[in-house]
Structure formats: structure tokens, C-alpha cells
Chains A and B, each alone.
Chain A
């Protein structure tokens, strides 16, 4: 009666251990379910390997179909400035120039805004508004490219041409970057619409990275007597540096490949100019516009080679960005600011 629960269970457990000294019986699975398991594994494995096969197929097809100009021009393809399909002379430098310029100017506009919005929604904003502003920023990513192009062509470009560009010509014209005449359809307009399209990507990843900075970093800086802005700067942004860089590079990757919206506002003129207000051209745009008109095999091969270059560049950019973001967000807590 007075046996304590402990002693009672002791006796039961020792009894059971001494009685069942033999190991547990091996669980044998029935043959059909083993086959089904193997089949299921094989099916999912094929799906996963299918992704690798698809990427390999893309590379293969791009290389095969650009052989003609790869052999004919070699590296001169990307340094020549004369794009003359009629006479068979293909120089892709104007497109490379246009893509790089629009992407980097778009980043210059988008990065302050995107990082600013991310900082605002995670640290500064009054709590009730946080979800709505974050949602609005992500909604920007849901709008299709063709709708951006339509809006940019008929609303943004006239707005830029009448309000913004004259101001830029007057104040920054001395740099040579903003020179009249300006028709609205220009490298600058393409950069602005690209910036709008790239902001949600940069801002959502920046927010993710900022949230992964542990709370004790913020508290430590505040305990030293910092203001809220100093806390953000020293406690959060400094730790999230690599991740924010990764977010920016991801945005760059998206800007490099954007086709439709850019094709509607960039002017489609393969020239290299110093002025951002002049019409230009871009790699993805020329493929979209001229692919269906490529009558000769050399013409088609030239366009596919531009596609191959675009593919390789976006692969490298995206790989670098993913590695950077992974390096920051997987290693939590972040290291102390150094």
C-alpha cells in the first residue's frame, strides 16, 4: 500500500526488461508496398531530375542554334556596334549597352526606395500600417509586365517627358547625361519602369534578411544609448549587409531579363549614346522584336546568341545573389558587427 509509485514502477520495469530480453521482432513490409515505395521514389526523383534536364536542354538548344554566328564572329559579336541584318553584319554592343545602362540606372533608382521601404515597414512604421504597406509592395510584383508596359507607354512616358525630363535637362544637362531632344521614349523611361518592377523583389528579400537579424543585436545597440535610426543603421543594416547586397543582385537579375515593358518604352534604336534621354535598345528587346522577322539562318543565329549571352549572365547573377542571401539568412544569429 505504502509502496511508492517509483518503487512500484521499478519492479514492473525491471520485470519487463528481464522477461523481454529478446530484441523486438523485425517489421517486414509486404512486397507490393515496397514496389510502390520504389515507384513513388522513382517518380519524384524523375520530376526533380527533370528540372536539371530542362536547364541543360535550354543551354544545349541555345548553343546549337547560335553556332553560325559563334563561329563567324567569335568575341567580335559583342564588341561590334553595327547591327545590320541585311548585309549580315551583326554587332551586339548597342544591345549590351542598353541592357546594362537601363538595369544599372533602374537599380540606382530602385535600391534607395526598396531598402527604404523595407526599413520603414520593419522598423519605423506604426504597427497597424505594416501589413498593408508590405502587401502593397508585394502587389507591385503581381502586376504583369505587359500591363506595366501599357501604363508606362501612355501614362508614365508623357509624364516624364513633360514634367521630369525638362527639369533634368535644366539641372543635370551639364553632365551630358540628360540632353535634349527628348521624345519621352528613352533609356531613362525604360530605367524608371524597370525600377518600379524591381522594387518589390529587393524590398521583400531585404525585409526577410532584416527580420533574420536577431533581436539582441537591436537591443544591444539601444542599450548603448542609440537613437532609433542609429539602432537601425548599426544593429540591423550592418548585420544584414550581405543579404541586402544579395537582394540587389537578384533585382539586377530580374532587370536584365525584362523584355516586354522595356520594349514598349525604350525606343528600339540600336545606338550607343551618352544621353539617357535618347532612345536605345536592349538584348531581350531585340530578341522579342526581331525573332519573327529573322529570315536568314545567320540572323536567327545572331538572335539566339544574344539569348545565350543573356541566359549566361542571368544565371551567374542569380547564382551569386542566391549564395549571398543564403550565406546571411542561414547563419542565425548573425555575427556581431565587425
Chain B
């Protein structure tokens, strides 16, 4: 029985790691051939014409993610500081709980809400709306990581800061937060990597665009949206581009994720021992 259990454990480990390797392998096999400088810098061309790429989608994604970060990072860190430092009464517990609930809300529902709050009022799709939707999705992750990191700062550091006679807000920002900063940045990068791949919230907010767009108030292309559109199309050429786009997206996201894990050396390494 004991050996059976060990065998079963090994089998499940193989079965779990296999899809991961399969996804990466096929992305490289199907996508690497279509990667080129033209792919990264050109806008899409009509079906049947050669060339064309996803340059506008990559740039559009960057624009939307910049707006999302501008919304998500301050709100997330602010909430994290509130929950960790001003821990009085039941309010921090409720905020933590509701942040976890917000984390679990399906991304399509958040997209629908931002559609009705922003897009319907403005009467047009925009990168701004897309950025708001993604920013809202970043907040719970950043809040939770910031709170965890701030709670890990030893009380002696805080007391030393107060002992210097500086005001409480200054102690919190310049000493406690700075001590926890590497962890907070980790959380921010993880949240960023997560929303970088989200498609559903952008479907009704940023809408997508086949041309270059630098205006925040216009519909904008985004890499995941473009991949989704091309994957569902009936054209072989577009399927090729979808694979290449997916490879670019994966390299960016998984690269960020791996870098974060390797640099922080927590979670995986602590948890596995």
C-alpha cells in the first residue's frame, strides 16, 4: 500500500507537469516560426496579404496596463497599509475579506460593470475603460501582498522609527514600507503579470483595434484580445499569428512570474520544505 501510494504520487506529479510542458512545447513549435521583427512592429493587414503583425496590440496592451497600474498600485498599496498598520477594530478584517471576494469575482463580470459605469456613460469604448477594469482586478492581489509584507516587518523596526521622533506617517512610509518594499514590489509584479493576460474584461471596454492607437479615449488593441480574435477565426494565417502572439505573451508573463519567484525566494521554496 505504501509503495502504491508513492507510485500514485509520482504519477500525479507527472500528470500535472505534463500539460505545462505540452503548452510551452507547442507554443514554441507553432509560434516561434512566425516571430520576427515585422511581427513585433507592424499592425495587422487584411486577410490574404502577407506580413502584418501584432505591434499595435503589444503597444495597446502596454498603454492599458499603464493605466491599470496607475489605478491599481496606489489603491492596492494604500489599502494594504491601512489593513496592516491601522489594525483597530473589525474594519481591517472586513476589508481583507472583501478584498478576497473581489479577487474571486469572474473577470467578465468586472468587464460588464466597467462597461455600464464607464463605457455607457462616455458612449464610446476606450483604453481608459480597459485600464480601469484591469486596475480593479489588480487591487485585491496588491492589497493582500502589501499587508502580508508589512506584517512581516519586525515591531522593533517600527519602534526604532518612532524613537527617532518622526511623525507616524513618515515612519510608516520611510521606514516600515521601505523595509517591506521588495516584497511589495513582488506583489505588484505578480498582480501585473496576472492582469496582463486577461482578455474578458477588455472585451467590452477596450474593444480592440486593427490600427495603431495612442489615444486613451479610443478603442485600443490588446495582445490577449488579438490572440482570442485570431484563434477563433477561420484563417490559417491568423492562426499562425495567434500562436506567435501567445508565445510573446507567455514569455512576458511567465518570465515576470519566474523572475519574481527566483528573486523573492519565498512561497515555493519555503513551502516545499
A residues neighboring B (CB under 8 Å): 29, 33-34, 36-37, 39-41, 43-52, 54-55, 57-58, 61-62, 64-65, 112-114, 116-117, 119-122, 124-125, 127, 130-131, 133-140, 142-151, 153-155, 196, 199, 203-204, 207-208, 211, 227-230, 232, 250, 253-254, 256-260, 264, 284, 287-288, 291-292, 304, 307, 310-311, 314-315, 317-319, 322
Contacts and interface: CB of A to CB of B under 8 A. Distances in A.
Interface in B220-273: 224, 227-228, 231-232, 239, 242-243, 246, 249-250, 253-254, 257-258, 261, 267-269, 271-273
A122 B105 contact: no
Given A51-B99, A54-B139, A227-B2, A147 B271 contact: no
A145 B199 CA distance: 8
Interface residues of B, number: 95
A284 B101 contact: no
Contacts, number: 282
A47 B82 contact: yes
A50 B106 CA distance: 19
Contacts of B12: 112-113, 116-117, 120
Nearest to B239: A154
B16 A117 contact: yes
Given A44-B81, A47-B82, A57-B113, A52 B98 contact: yes
A131 B167 contact: no
A143 B104 contact: no
Contact of B272 (A51, A124, A131, A319): A131
23 contacts: A36-B167, A41-B169, A44-B82, A48-B78, A49-B95, A62-B109, A113-B16, A116-B8, A117-B13, A139-B20, A139-B254, A144-B197, A146-B199, A150-B231, A151-B27, A153-B231, A204-B271, A207-B272, A229-B5, A230-B2, A287-B112, A291-B112, A315-B101
A7 to B, nearest CB: 31
A291 B109 contact: no
B95 A48 contact: yes
Among the interface residues B204, B231, B267, which one has the most CB atoms of the partner chain A within 10 A? B231
Given A52-B94, A154-B231, A257-B104, 8 more contacts: A37-B168, A48-B91, A49-B95, A51-B143, A151-B26, A229-B6, A318-B100, A319-B101
B268 A138 contact: yes
Interface of B: 1-2, 4-6, 8-13, 15-17, 19-20, 22-23, 26-27, 30, 74-79, 81-83, 85-86, 91-92, 94-95, 97-110, 112-113, 116-117, 136, 139-140, 143, 167-170, 172-173, 193-194, 196-200, 203-204, 224, 227-228, 231-232, 239, 242-243, 246, 249-250, 253-254, 257-258, 261, 267-269, 271-273
